[in-house]
Amino acid sequence: MSTLRTALRDYLSLQRGLGYKYVHQERTLTSFVLFMEQRKTAFITTKLALEWATQSPGRHASWAIHLSDVRGFARYLRNSEPRTEIPPTGLIPRSGRIRPYLYSDTEIQTLLTAALALPPEQALRRWTYHCLFGLLVVTGLRIGEALALRRDDVDIEEGILTIRGAKFGKSRLVTIHPSTRQVLLDYAHRRDVHLATPHSPYFLVAERGGQLLPQSVYRVFWDLSRQTGLRAATAHTGPRLHDFRHRFAVATLLDWYRAGKDVDNLMPVLSTYLGHTCIRDTYWYLSACPELMEHATRRLEKRWEALP
């Protein structure tokens, strides 16, 4: 095993010991180490790091992220290899955060209806995707969190979901509406009738009972998006599954503002519900939606008017 590979193994172990999952970073840095080995280089230089990070044409959004991953690894290596160069920040400007697509109620209903029409007619597949997409809409869960739900994590009777080992290894409880409980109960019944013997501990399952994989979910979502007009037939970009989460956050904030509630005091509640590690990530939605920004501005103006 090369020195860099050994160092990478130790680095990943350290990060995971601190509570980070480092799944994507492991793939990224493994690719980088292979790149360095092919060039027979034992230590990191800024020039090679930049060459590796920018080798994929037309993917500027990922270049800065990849270089950032290498920067963290290089800081770790610098302690044992003084020749290591740490790529400076700003070499590749990061793209701005993607503005969320805010689905309309009609678009969501059309997508859910299309999911219920998925072939084959007598299979579990259509009910699985109808339940999954609906759950993302009404809870704001990340797609990985929804797919990771196990049977024991879904307390239908109490209306509580246990989200385990979410981002940064934190777990949380998510309450659900009675109407959502009914949909989950209906799906669980259909699933258990379809699968006489459970093949998996997961709540949402693939047709034969195995774990539902993200790549399969994305393919179905893209197909349905094109079918329902959310994306053009040949489009490679458009509304995302993650935008269901954005819609949930924005809709919650709008409801609070329209009801005249103290949003600043409620913001930590929403942040906890969404599993944000920093409340700043929740406040970002104020700038992501023009109506929310208008409500926030009006609230601030009223405070100023009240000042002596």
pTM: 0.69
Which of 4-18, 109-123, 209-223, 290-304 has the lowest average pLDDT? Answer: 290-304
Residue 300 has pLDDT above 60, yes or no: no
Give the best-scoring range by mean pLDDT among 59-73, 85-99, 289-303.
Answer: 59-73
Q: How confident is the model at residue 183, as a pLDDT?
A: 97
Report residue 292's pLDDT band, with 50, 70 and 90 as the boundaries: confident
- When comparing pLDDT for 292 and 251, which is higher? 251
Domain boundaries, the chain: 3-78
Query: What Å distances lie between residue 116 and 51, 108, 215, 226, CA to CA?
Result: 47, 13, 20, 16
Query: What Å distances lie between residue 278 and 27, 80, 212, 273, 282, CA to CA?
Result: 26, 33, 30, 12, 8
Query: Angle, to 10 degrees, between the axis of helix 242-258 and the axis of helix 125-139?
Result: 40
Residue 109 burial (CB count, 10 A):
12
pLDDT in tens, 119-173: 999 999 999 999 999 999 999 999 999 999 999 999 999 999 999 866 656 789 9
Of 217, 195, 218, residue with least CA distance to 208: 195
**Residue 173 backbone phi and psi in degrees, to 5:** -105, 140
Cis peptide before 120 (omega within 30 of 0): yes
In percent, the amount of the chain with pLDDT more than 70 equals 89
Q: How confident is the model at residue 304, as a pLDDT?
A: 47
Q: What's the CA gap between 49 and 38, in Å, rounded?
A: 13
Of 172, 181, 194, 183, residue with least CA distance to 125: 194
Mean pLDDT of the chain: 87
For 194-225, give the secondary structure using H, E and C: HCCCCCCCECCECCCCCECCHHHHHHHHHHHH
Between vectors from CA 44 to CA 77 and to CA 60, what angle results, nearest 5°?
110
Q: Where are the beta strands (DSSP E) in 4-109?
A: none
- Known catalytic residues are 142, 167, 242, 245, 276, 285
Q: How confident is the model at residue 8, as a pLDDT?
A: 94
pLDDT in tens, 254-271: 999 889 898 888 988 998
pLDDT in tens, 46-79: 999 999 988 876 556 678 888 889 999 999 999 9
